[in-house]
Structure 1
Amino acid sequence: MRIGLITPEPGHPLLAATVALLTPEHQVETLDPRTVEGPAEPLADVYLLKSRTPRALALARDLEQRGAPVMNSAAATALCQDRTAMAEQARRAGLPFASTRTFTRLAQLASGPPLPGPVVVKSRHSRRHDLVARLDNGTQLRELAGAWPQEPVVVQDFAPNSGWDHKLWAVGDQLFAALRRSELSPEGRGPTLPLAPDDLPPGWPALVRRVGEVFELDVYGVDIIDRGDGAPLIVDINAFPGVRGQSGAPQALAALTLRRANRSSTASTRRVAGVRAE
């Protein structure tokens, strides 16, 4: 099988370990979206989209239009970058997603009514080094607006919790989990602690898989906080996260990649056979 990686970082631990599992029998090539002009023919049997830049999304869309399967799709990846669209999609589907308000500029929020209580402010468009901050009062808001005045943002009411985020990842049908101290906690971001999926509260694994169905994602992460009674609150969804330090994640990704590649190869063979029969 031929497998393409759409990424500027093929050395990422998850990708590197997955490639090491695949290369003894399969051909893997990297397409750096910063430099590649277009994919070479013939197309690969499947492409893994591990980048969220405009150039990477454009490359993925071009591949899809030419009939190549991309995992995750360009549309699903782009949806997870827009936190306003993400929240709307989740709440329409009945998912327990944090109530989300959108402001075209952070300065607009600062010039409005006083904060009703602690809130979490995030960049509307998810990207590396974006804005995520807890604000408790107007002084903090004005200071943040002074540093990020033009930033489009979303605002979520702060939900009291233990200070630990549940980091849940899905690679196909396989689920991985960990606890990580929230970057919004007074102590700041802390270590990541192992968490067995079997130790999750009842219904949480099914909720994660429902997220995958709603957003049409194959490899994704779901950030959930426990409000104290076991009731989950989803605060973020990520397309193709790093899944760092999770034993078995590279094996799961390699197996999923080959399943998608085999499905693509079988469908292509059937199309060719149909043409010849005609």
Structure 2
Amino acid sequence: MRLCFLVEEQYRYDGMPLDVIRQLTAWGHQVDVMWPGRSLLPLSEAVRAGSHDAWVLKTVSGGPGLSLLEAAAAVGLTTVNDVRAIRGVRDKALAAVIARGSGLPVPVTYAAARAEEFAQIPEAEFPLVVKPADGSSGRAVRLVESPDRLPAAGAAEPAEPGGAAGGLLIAQPYVPNSGTDLKVYCVAGELYATERRSPLHPGHAVRERQVPLTAEVARITAEIGTVFGLDLYGVDVLLGPDGPVVVDINDFPSFRQVPDAVARVSSAVLRLARKGAEPAVPGPAAPAVPPLAAIGGDR
């Protein structure tokens, strides 16, 4: 098969996806790699019907790679994951609405262009977790203990690397927890859970390790794949006083602590690429992510 990987500069030396690329190449497949953040791309030649069997994206949320993946899908090329699913989870404001509307356990979510606007939230809901709607890898996530700790009006917001300065922010009430969270990975239907230190508790010592997956967390993780239409993804789960709470969803994460992760992910990419090449089965199908009009907004 011929595959194309879109890889952001910050993942240039990362095992995921570079080890997957090496594995697929060793298995005899042709893998082309594009670096959308640092090179000239022959767009008209590269993104055309029949150029590749599948395209795979590994970029930061606000990077340029998603537009290229959407261009590939627009000319009929298979993408891993589906571009609508990726867009649905990379916009954290949109993801929160879709997840909550589907009955998934996510915190109440507020959105604003400026952090000082969150001062209108009732003080009883503080502390708040504030983060960019297009953020990734836990960067620029901060805990705001009280309204008077919010930035003053007119103060500049820190820009998320790879994202757009001045973008939308979201805020959610902090979920009390032990200082650890679960990262649950899905590799084409197979689930794996890792315990790790919460990014909001940097002083909490915990060794990242694979842990057993409870039936409830497994059900929630599988349901996220169904709701968003994802095949390869990760879910951040906090075990709060009222049960598991989903605080983030990622397409194509690191898959750390997943046994034989490179071989498993490589095999999943091939299966999904072959599945995309199969003739479509006639009949109506609901979109993986509902149109914006259905959730009360448009662009």
Range class of TM-score, shorter chain:
0.7 to 0.9
More helix by share: 1
Shift in CA distance, 262/142, structure 1 to aligned 2, threshold 3 Å = closer
In the TM superposition, what is the alpha-carbon distance from 1:73 to its structure 2 partner?
Answer: 2.4
- Matched residue of 1:185: which SS? coil
Query: 2:58 matched to 1:46?
Result: no
Q: State the match for 1:235 in structure 2.
A: 247
Q: State the match for 2:32 in structure 1.
A: 29
Paired positions, count = 263
**Max radius of gyration: which structure?**
1
Query: 2:267 matched to 1:255?
Result: yes
Query: 2:208 matched to 1:193?
Result: yes
- Matched residue of 2:279: which SS? helix
Shift in CA distance, 234/266, structure 1 to aligned 2, threshold 3 Å = closer
Q: TM-score, normalised by structure 2?
A: 0.79
Distance across 1 between alignment mates of 2:34 and 2:167: 31
The letter for the 2-side match of 1:23 is T
Show structure 1 runs of 5+ residues with no match: 269-278
In the TM superposition, what is the alpha-carbon distance from 1:131 to its structure 2 partner?
Answer: 2.4
Query: 2:91 matched to 1:91?
Result: no
Residues 200-251 of structure 1 deviation map (CA, whole Å, 9 limit, x = unaligned): 222211211110111111211111111146x211111111112234322211
- Matched residue of 1:23: which SS? helix
Q: State the match for 1:275 in structure 2.
A: none
Pairing partner for 2:180 from 154, 157, 164: 164
Given that 1:49 and 1:73 are in contact with CA atoms closer than 8 Å, whether structure 2 keeps it comes out as: no
- Matched residue of 1:213: which SS? helix
The letter for the 1-side match of 2:150 is L
Q: State the match for 2:117 in structure 1.
A: 108
Distance across 1 between alignment mates of 2:266 and 2:218: 22
Q: State the match for 2:229 in structure 1.
A: 216
Distance across 2 between alignment mates of 1:180 and 1:148: 28
In the TM superposition, what is the alpha-carbon distance from 1:145 to its structure 2 partner?
Answer: 7.8
In the TM superposition, what is the alpha-carbon distance from 1:261 to its structure 2 partner?
Answer: 2.4
Distance across 2 between alignment mates of 1:73 and 1:205: 22
Q: TM-score, normalised by structure 1?
A: 0.84
Pairing partner for 2:16 from 11, 14, 31: 14
Identity %: 28
Q: State the match for 1:271 in structure 2.
A: none
- Matched residue of 1:233: which SS? strand
